[in-house]
């Protein structure tokens, strides 16, 4: 995958807000805009306050 800026959308159930934390290549992100390196990247989802919801899929959209 080419590097650059992307919009990240995560689809999950249940649709309630459970306060998840998202890390991309070790950096915590806020919002849905992420920067990826060319090649492999690591996306982590965690929560210190509750169970993490069941993840259905990730969607990446290149920002030009």
Give the model confidence (pLDDT) of 30-42 as tens digits.
Answer: 999 999 999 999 9
CA-CA distance, 33 to 60, in Å (whole number)?
Answer: 10
| Cβ pair 19, 49 in contact under 8 A | yes
pLDDT of residue 57: 92
**Which is it for the CA torsion 25, 31, 32, 34, positive or negative?**
negative
pLDDT score of 46 more than 70: yes
pLDDT of residue 20: 85
Total structural domains within the chain = 1
Is residue 7's pLDDT more than 70? yes
Query: Domain limits at 12?
Result: 4-62
**For all residues of the chain together, what is the average pLDDT?**
89
15: confidence class by pLDDT, cuts 50, 70, 90: low
């Amino acid at each position: 995958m080419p590097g650059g800026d992307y919009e990240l959308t995560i689809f999950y159930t249940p649709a309630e807000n459970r306060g998840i934390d998202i890390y991309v290549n070790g950096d915590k992100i806020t919002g849905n805009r992420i920067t990826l390196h060319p090649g492999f990247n690591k996306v982590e989802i965690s929560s210190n306050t509750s169970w993490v919801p069941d993840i259905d899929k990730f969607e990446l959209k290149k920002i030009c």
